[in-house]
Structure 1
Amino acid sequence: STANSVVEMIIVYFDGLCYPQNPGGVAAYGYLIYRDNEPIWKGFGAVGEGRGMTSNVAEYEGLLAAARWLNDEGIDEKIEVRGDSELVIKQMKGEYRISSATSKRYVPQIKKLLEGKEVRFRWVPREENEEADRLSRVAYESYVRRKKSGLNLR
């Protein structure tokens, strides 16, 4: 019977950018969470700008924000995390060595948040990650707008 084979599944897409230059631009991210193909949550944010900001920092912050949400919501279905950053996906899968300061900072934090959950990581091409990419641009643009209007960003 096919009805029984339908397993509730959570799919997470995340992306990040560092613009107008990488490193040293504005790092921003976006993420989306789907349950059985229905969007249930989306988030985006700016990490900051200048020193220490890179696209990898932005990607990891996006994944970290998504992991926090999954943890806070007590999500216990199977989770598939999809991103177009080969580096982040392979580091999370343990296929790439965790050598940079950035990955040493983020990978353990993210793993701890996802502890006890059934999670797999999957690299997807950019075309399959357009919505998360769009959200990271929304985050970038709202950061720039707030900065122009002179609001304190901290």
Structure 2
Amino acid sequence: MTLADVPAVYAIEQQVQTHPWSQQLFMDSIAAGHHCTVLEQQDRERSQIVGFCILQPVLDEANLLLMAIAQASQKQGLGYQLLEQSIDGLVKARASQGCNMIFLEVRQSNQAAIALYEKLGFAQIDLRKNYYPTSTGKEHAVIMALTLSMNFAQ
């Protein structure tokens, strides 16, 4: 992801999130050196960003801060492809420092995302109660972790 990608990424974010990040937060992630990836699809005339992923490296671990696929491109396996490529890219980029674990939190109601994360090997390690705001109150966050093996970045 580059600064030039931020308007397209922000448009996707506004489509899919109830509490979207601002454009400034995306620019801040790029400036902070987070591992920011976009997924593009080619149509007849041009390439279009259809998804993004932001991983924040912290020592020998990382946090999945944000990931989304445009509504029109969902349910095509692109989320799996994007996250797998993002993790692989992070592991390669941090080969000298290492990256052993990736953590994330996800709304308990987001069963599609939870299934995707489980398919990639993430497992629930905790539950953060009443974490995410909703229109009617709060909902729990499922805390998940992935222990990285040598399967990534080979």
User: Structure 1 length normalisation: TM-score?
Assistant: 0.31
Q: Which has the higher contact order (CA 8 A, sep 6+)?
A: 1
Bigger fraction of residues in helix? 1
